[in-house]
Amino acid sequence: GDSVTQMEGPVTLSEEAFLTINCTYTATGYPSLFWYVQYPGEGLQLLLKATKADDKGSNKGFEATYRKETTSFHLEKGSVQVSDSAVYFCAPMDTGRRALTFGSGTRLQVQP
């Protein structure tokens, strides 16, 4: 089955710093790829997605590019804010079951 490797956290940054959270995956075929975000005490929310190779997903200043050659989908943001503090999950879509496989999550802490 599909699997996901995310960088371990917590990642601690100062406000306005550049963010990268690495994500690599193994999957059959070319799955759609997603990033979800979970704020404290809440469920997960879709952050961005990409459905085919070289697609770039973007939302709220976050970006990720579908890299088929390296099976990666790294999340980036040019200038983080305190309000970005959350746990971020990378997830490929199992094309057979239409089910997401989640990584273990990366906690981001942004300090003022």
Q: Can you spell out the DSSP letters for 31-44?
A: --EEEEEE-TTS-E
How many Å apart are CA 1 and CA 53, to the nearest integer? 20
Of the listed pieces 17-25, 31-39, 67-75, 77-85, which binds other proteins according to CB under 8 A? 31-39
Residue 8, Cβ density class (10 Å: 0-12 exposed, 13-18 middle, ≥19 buried): exposed
Number of residues that bind other proteins (CB under 8 A): 23
Binding mask 72-101 for other proteins (x = CB under 8 A): -----------------x---x---xxxxx
As measured in angstroms, the least distance from the Cβ of 57 to other proteins is 11
How many Å apart are CA 38 and CA 101, to the nearest integer? 16
Q: Which residues would be at the binding site for other proteins (CB under 8 A)?
A: 1, 4, 32, 34, 36, 42-46, 49, 51, 89, 93, 97-105
